[in-house]
Amino acid sequence: MHHQANERDKNMSSNASSKNPILVSPDKKAEHYRLTNPPLIAWPTLAILVFILVGIVGTDTLALNGHVPMWVAAMLNVLFMYPIFHVAHDATHRSASSNVQLNDWMGRIALLMIAPQVSLSTFRYSHMIHHRFTNEAKDPDHYAHGPWWNIVFRWMTFDLSYAVYNWRSGDPRGVKTLKDTLPLAAMTVALVAALVYFGYGWEVVMLWLIPARITTALIGFVFLWLPHLDGDEHGQLQHITTAASTQNNLTAGTTMRMGNEPVMDALMQWHNYHLIHHLWPTTPSYNHRKVWQLMEPELRARDLRIQHGLALIPTFHPGGTTAIGSH
Q: What is the pLDDT of residues 170-214, one digit of tens each?
A: 999 999 999 999 999 999 999 999 999 999 999 999 999 999 999
Is 249 within 8 Å of 257 (Cβ atoms)? no
210 and 287 fall within a common domain: no
Instruction: Evaluate whether residue 125 is within a structural domain.
Output: yes
Instruction: Evaluate whether residue 27 is within a structural domain.
Output: no
| Among the listed residues 90, 114, 112, the one whose alpha carbon sits nearest the alpha carbon of residue 102 | 90
Angle between helices 43-64 and 84-92 (to 10 degrees): 140
Domain range spanning residue 252? 2-20+32-39+230-317
Instruction: Evaluate whether residue 213 is within a structural domain.
Output: yes
- pLDDT category, 161, cuts 50, 70, 90? very high
Instruction: Evaluate whether residue 90 is within a structural domain.
Output: yes
pLDDT at 21: 83
295 and 203 fall within a common domain: no
141 and 191 fall within a common domain: yes
Instruction: Evaluate whether residue 326 is within a structural domain.
Output: no
Q: How far apart are the first and last CA of the chain?
A: 35
Tens-digit pLDDT profile for residues 47-76: 999 999 999 999 999 999 999 999 999 999
Instruction: Evaluate whether residue 25 is within a structural domain.
Output: no
Is 125 within 8 Å of 174 (Cβ atoms)? yes
pLDDT at 300: 94
83 and 47 fall within a common domain: yes
Residue 3 has pLDDT above 60, yes or no: no
pLDDT at 324: 45
192 and 47 fall within a common domain: yes
282 and 219 fall within a common domain: no
pLDDT at 7: 39
- The CA R_g of the chain, rounded to the nearest whole Å, is 20
Instruction: Evaluate whether residue 86 is within a structural domain.
Output: yes
121 and 214 fall within a common domain: yes
262 and 300 fall within a common domain: yes
pLDDT at 243: 59
Domain boundary among 227, 260, 291: 227
How many domains is the chain partitioned into structurally? 2
Instruction: Evaluate whether residue 80 is within a structural domain.
Output: yes
Domain boundary among 163, 192, 227: 227
157 and 211 fall within a common domain: yes
Supply the pTM of this predicted model. 0.92
251 and 207 fall within a common domain: no
290 and 256 fall within a common domain: yes
Tens-digit pLDDT profile for residues 255-304: 999 999 999 999 999 999 999 999 999 999 999 999 999 999 999 999 99
Q: Over the chain, what HEC string results?
A: CHHHHHHHHCCCCCHHHCCCCCCCCHHHHHHHHHHHCCCCCCHHHHHHHHHHHHHHHHHHHHHHCCCCCHHHHHHHHHHHHCCHHHHHHHHHCCCCCCCHHHHHHHHHHHHHCCCCCCCHHHHHHHHHHHHHCCCCCCCHHHHHCCCHHHHHHHHHCHHHHHHHHHHHCCCHHHHHCHHHHHHHHHHHHHHHHHHHHCCCHHHHHHHHHHHHHHHHHHHHHHHHHHHHEEECCCCCEEECCHHHCCCCCHHHCCEEEECCHHHHHHHCCCHHHHHHHHHCCCCCHHHHHHHHHHHHHHHHCCCEEEEECCCCCCEEECCCECCCCEC
50 contacts: CB under 8 Å, gap ≥ 6:
none
Domain boundary among 176, 198, 227: 227
141 and 53 fall within a common domain: yes
| Among the listed residues 114, 131, 121, 42, the one whose alpha carbon sits nearest the alpha carbon of residue 80 | 114
pLDDT at 14: 74
